[in-house]
């Protein structure tokens, strides 16, 4: 992939859940592009369609209509996938969700290692890479613990390491820092930014954390399935009304 093509390009994306009375339009003609090496925030109220957009781009949840390109390649034409979804996901996309979703019977290191081995890395290389990431994320000493022995924040950092392990072209994160304290939360966001810069990856992060907004190159706001670009500074932290 060359720098000239966008990491993500989304054209007039629509997603309708259900039909008739229960119909919900989760995405209503979303269009945007994200350059390689760029990190963007996706903001918006609950139920706006942020996760729906992320999973459509992430080849997890096909849209109803519209087109999705990743690295210049058409991946969704309407609900039809234009690539081998599994291989594509494995090679090009890293995911982080609100929950860590670690495999409970594998140690922290094995969770990351497995992701690398699935992608063809030798066990030795995979182990090395996993430890590298753990060092950086400050969880190296927990590498051989099972997930249930880790705190929520530690688990989430393992999940981040797993998403970054294969050096993906695209990182999709859905409220990744919800379980972290502000220091670790910020650290993860900065790591994403660094990965965007160094690997030329596109990074799209759904977040409610307005304190980290300065990390992002751009931010998008989604309301009722419609997407609009916002200037980072414009999205000032909204103070909650005082408790009566």
Ligand X SMILES: Nc1ncnc2c1ncn2[C@@H]1O[C@H](COP(=O)(O)OP(=O)(O)OP(=O)(O)O)[C@@H](O)[C@H]1O
- The residue ranges that bind another protein (CB under 8 A) are 51, 55, 60-61, 86-87, 89-91, 95, 97, 101, 103-106, 110, 113-115, 117-119, 123, 146, 162
Query: Minimum distance from CB of 89 to Mg ion (Å)?
Result: 19
Q: Which does 204 bind (CB under 5 to 8 A by kind): another protein, ligand X, Mg ion, none?
A: none
Q: Which does 145 bind (CB under 5 to 8 A by kind): Mg ion, ligand X, another protein, none?
A: none
With CA atoms as reference, report the closest residue to 32 among 222, 231, 189.
Answer: 222
Q: What is the DSSP string of 198-242?
A: HH--EEEEE---GGGGGG-SEEEEEETTEEEEE-TTTSPPPPPPP
With CA atoms as reference, report the closest residue to 211 among 235, 175, 242.
Answer: 235
- Whole-number Å distance between alpha carbons of 76 and 199: 24
Q: Which does 89 bind (CB under 5 to 8 A by kind): another protein, Mg ion, ligand X, none?
A: another protein
Residue 233, classified by CB atoms within 10 Å of its CB into exposed (0-12), middle (13-18) or buried (19+), is exposed
Around Cβ 125, how many Cβ atoms within 10 Å? Answer: 13
Query: Minimum distance from CB of 144 to another protein (Å)?
Result: 12
17: contact with ligand X by CB under 6 A = yes
Q: Which does 151 bind (CB under 5 to 8 A by kind): ligand X, another protein, Mg ion, none?
A: none
Compose the 43-62 pattern: x for residues touching ligand X by CB under 6 A, - for all others: -x-xxxxxxx----------
Given 15, 32, 36, 51, the residue binding Mg ion (CB under 5 A): 51
Query: Minimum distance from CB of 243 to another protein (Å)?
Result: 32
Query: Minimum distance from CB of 33 to another protein (Å)?
Result: 24
Strands (E), the chain: 8-17, 24-34, 39-43, 65-70, 73-77, 80-81, 93-96, 170-174, 202-206, 218-223, 226-230
> From edge to edge, which strands make up the β-sheet containing 73-77?
24-34, 8-17, 65-70, 73-77, 80-81
Q: At what angle do helices 182-199 and 152-165 cross, to 10 degrees?
A: 0
**Measured from the CB atom, is 51 or 187 closer to Mg ion?**
51
Query: Minimum distance from CB of 207 to ligand X (Å)?
Result: 10
Query: Minimum distance from CB of 230 to ligand X (Å)?
Result: 15
228: contact with ligand X by CB under 6 A = no
**Measured from the CB atom, is 105 or 229 closer to another protein?**
105
Q: Which does 113 bind (CB under 5 to 8 A by kind): another protein, Mg ion, ligand X, none?
A: another protein
For residues 152-164, one letter each, b for 16 or more C-beta atoms within 10 angstroms of the residue's C-beta and e for the rest, the string is ebbbbbbbbbbbb
Q: Which positions touch ligand X (CB under 6 A)?
A: 17-18, 24, 26, 44, 46-52
Q: Which positions touch Mg ion (CB under 5 A)?
A: 51
């Amino acid at each position: 992939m060359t720098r000239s093509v966008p990491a993500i390009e989304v054209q007039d994306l629509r997603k309708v859940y259900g039909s008739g009375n229960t119909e919900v339009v989760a995405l209503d003609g979303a269009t945007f592009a994200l350059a390689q090496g760029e990190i963007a925030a996706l903001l918006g109220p609950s139920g706006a369609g942020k996760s729906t957009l992320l999973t459509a781009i992430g080849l997890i949840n096909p849209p109803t209509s519209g087109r999705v390109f990743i690295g210049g390649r058409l991946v969704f034409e309407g609900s039809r996938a234009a690539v081998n979804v599994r291989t594509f996901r494995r090679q090009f996309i890293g995911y982080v969700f609100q929950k860590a979703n670690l495999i409970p019977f594998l140690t922290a290191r094995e969770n990351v290692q497995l992701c690398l081995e699935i992608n063809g890395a030798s066990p030795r290389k995979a182990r090395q890479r996993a430890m590298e990431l753990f060092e950086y994320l400050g969880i190296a000493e927990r590498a051989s613990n099972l997930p249930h022995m880790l705190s929520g924040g530690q688990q989430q950092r393992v999940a981040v390491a797993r998403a970054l392990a294969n050096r993906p072209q695209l990182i999709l994160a859905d409220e990744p820092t919800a379980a972290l304290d502000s220091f670790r939360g910020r650290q993860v966001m900065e790591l994403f930014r660094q990965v965007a810069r160094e690997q030329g990856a596109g990074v799209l992060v759904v977040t409610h954390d307005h304190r980290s907004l300065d990390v992002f190159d751009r931010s998008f706001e989604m309301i009722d399935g419609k997407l609009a670009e916002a200037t980072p500074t414009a999205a000032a932290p909204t103070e909650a009304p005082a408790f009566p």
